[in-house]
Every structure is written in C-alpha cells, then in structure tokens.
Amino acid sequence: MEILDKTGQAGKLSPNPLRQSQIIFISYITQITRAAMDGGVEEDLAYAMSDSYIQTSEKCTALSQIDRLRTRALMDFTNAVRHKKDSPPYSKAVRRAIGYIRSHVKEKISLSQIALASGLSSGRFSHLFREETGMTPFAYVKKERLETARSMLIYTDRPISEISAALCFSSESHFIQAFREYTGKTPGKYRKSQH
C-alpha cells in the first residue's frame, strides 16, 4: 500500500525509483484485483491476472514500462468486469441462469440444471433464453467456456490440454477447433499473440 507522509506524498519504500514504482504497482494491482472480484470476476481468474501482472512488473527495467503496464492492467481488469456484467436487461430467470452457467463453467452442465436454477421448466426456459440472448443455453455455455479459456491462456501457464479438460471439452482437438472458430486463432497462437 502507498505510505503517505504528512504532506500527502507517497512515502519512500525504496531508494531506487524503479523499485519504488514496482512496489506501488503491486499495491495498485492488489486494489484493482479486489475491485474486480467485487465486480463479479471469479477469484481464480482475478488472482491469476494479478500474479501475471506482478511477475511482469518485476521484469520491468524502466519507469515507462511500469506506467504502460499499469494502463494495460486497468484495461484488462475493466474488461474482465465488463464481461461478467449483463449489459442487456435480461429477465430474472435468464439472469439466474447466466449466473449459474458462469459459476459452473468448469463443470458439466445439463439443460435441466440450468432450467432449475432459472426457476422455469426446461421447455419454457430454453425458449425464453433463446428469445432474450439470441442463442441456445448450450451455445451460451460454450461461449462462456471459450471466454474463460481466453483468460486462462493469457493469465496462466497451464497447458492447453489442461485448460481443455478443466472447461469440460470432450477432447483437446474439439477445444482447439471450437477456439479457432470463436477467435480465428488456435489456442497456442492466441497465447503467443497476447504475450
């Protein structure tokens, strides 16, 4: 955390300006990580993003790199929160279903489970969900899994096979094909393009 002296200026935590900036950056990342979790970002993802940014800050060799990293971190955390927020005004049943899908994205999910979470019968739920979101419940589950995969590829070093299994894809090749259709890149190329 920033330490303020009596004049309101940040106290010196290190005589080295670069190290001082890195320490303050870590405090900054800690605060926006908490804010992102308050905004609905899953704990695992928020901490993975935080760890990635802190590790990157430790490799910085110039103050300007820390400044650019701070801007990029704010944008990434903001986008993660935005992704978790429901922008369209969905009905209560659809919002409950989306919440269920997001909290169980790393589990096998059945239509009956999602419908139960929504409080509607499977038939009524499927119709309402498609009407409001423009996609079937399973297309939405797939989209959420692929968005989670994007974040995992950027912010973790987990192997593609592990990400595929963690997100309940039937096989690694199915995951790669679905990811390529969704993003236009294979998971490996996507990860390289983000680093």
pLDDT in tens, the chain (195 residues): 344 444 345 567 888 999 999 999 999 999 999 998 888 887 878 888 898 899 999 999 999 999 999 998 998 898 888 877 655 678 889 989 998 998 899 999 999 999 999 999 999 999 999 999 999 999 999 999 999 999 889 888 899 999 999 999 999 999 999 999 999 999 999 999 987
CA dist., res. 100 & res. 112, Å (int): 12
Q: What is the pLDDT of residues 37-86, one digit of tens each?
A: 888 887 878 888 898 899 999 999 999 999 999 998 998 898 888 877 65
- Identify the pLDDT of residue 87: 56
